[in-house]
Amino acid sequence: MTYTRSEENCLKAIFTITEQGEHGGSTTAIAAQLRTKASSVTEMVKRLSEKGLVDHKPYHGVLLTEPGNRIATRVIRRHRLWETFLVNHLNFRWDEVHDLAEQLEHIDSDELHDRLDKFMDHPKFDPHGDPIPDKDGRMIDMAGALPLAEVPKDTLVHIVGVKDSSPAFLKLLDGLGLKLGTQLTVNRRFEYDNSVEVSSRFRNGLLLNEQVSRNLTVKPL
């Protein structure tokens, strides 16, 4: 079986939405994720449903079936493998690779991606800290990781991921000297705007707004 780019993107969107807690992706949420319109999603979901890749209870959301989940996971695997390749071997920056991976993830070949995986020695994480599924769809689970926004004061943590892979966000982090592995402690939180003040080995009293602290994933050490 081979699926179209749009089908794969739709399955991936549903995966991402349902993974983030939602109990079934709404037509609207999927449309937002795909930057398309709800009516287009209705049609796409109908087709995916006929192919047995999703379960759709109108007004109650779309869920991936087991085959649908397998395909979505495979697309995510490919995306993350390519991002890793582009950064580690072609010397792209972490803020440059997402859009390229959006194209490359649709190349139709398990063999290619398994060889790419092997070539890189089976990397476990992509440049943004996201776990890379192995060929059976298994990946390291991120238990213990949480948004910086939810870290208690005076806890030593290190950055393990970013929720937002947009160039703008990643460039901001670069500009602040924050990257995967950077160790941080929350010194103060301001109720006024939910901003947090953090310190690292290199920098003291760095003020991060709520948007930033929500999009930084960290893990206590």
Partner DNA sequence: GATATAATTTAGCTATACCTAAATATGGGT
Partner DNA sequence: ACCCATATTTAGGTATAGCTAAATTATATC
- Residues interacting with a copy of itself, by CB under 8 A? 86, 89-92, 100, 103-104, 107-109, 112, 115-116, 119
Query: Per CB under 5 A, does 165 bind Mn ion?
Result: yes
130: which DSSP letter? P
Among 58, 152, 181, 205, binds DNA (CB under 7 A): 58
Give how many residues touch DNA by CB under 7 A: 27
Q: Which two tokens stand for residue 107?
A: 């190349």
Query: Per CB under 5 A, does 77 bind Mn ion?
Result: no
User: Of 117, 42, 48, which Cα lies nearest the Cα of 85?
Assistant: 117
Q: Which two tokens stand for residue 21?
A: 């807690």
Among 11, 13, 14, 27, binds DNA (CB under 7 A): 27
Q: Which does 158 bind (CB under 5 to 8 A by kind): Mn ion, DNA, a copy of itself, none?
A: none
Q: Which two tokens stand for residue 77?
A: 């695997």
φ/ψ (deg, to 5) at 6: -65, -40
| CB of 211 vs a copy of itself, minimal distance in Å | 29
Three-state SS sequence of 200-219? CCCCCCEEECHHHHHHEEEE
User: Of 39, 2, 34, which Cα lies nearest the Cα of 15?
Assistant: 34
Which residues between 88 and 107 bind Mn ion (CB under 5 A)?
A: 98
Helix axes 27-34, 38-50, angle to 10 degrees: 110
Report the residue number, 53 or 80, with the smaller CB distance to Mn ion: 80
Query: Per CB under 5 A, does 12 bind Mn ion?
Result: no
Structure-token match 């800290």, residue found: 129
Report the residue number, 108 or 174, with the smaller CB distance to a copy of itself: 108
Q: Which does 165 bind (CB under 5 to 8 A by kind): Mn ion, DNA, a copy of itself, none?
A: Mn ion
Query: Per CB under 7 A, does 20 bind DNA?
Result: no
C-alpha 94/C-alpha 82 separation (Å) is 12
| CB of 218 vs DNA, minimal distance in Å | 32
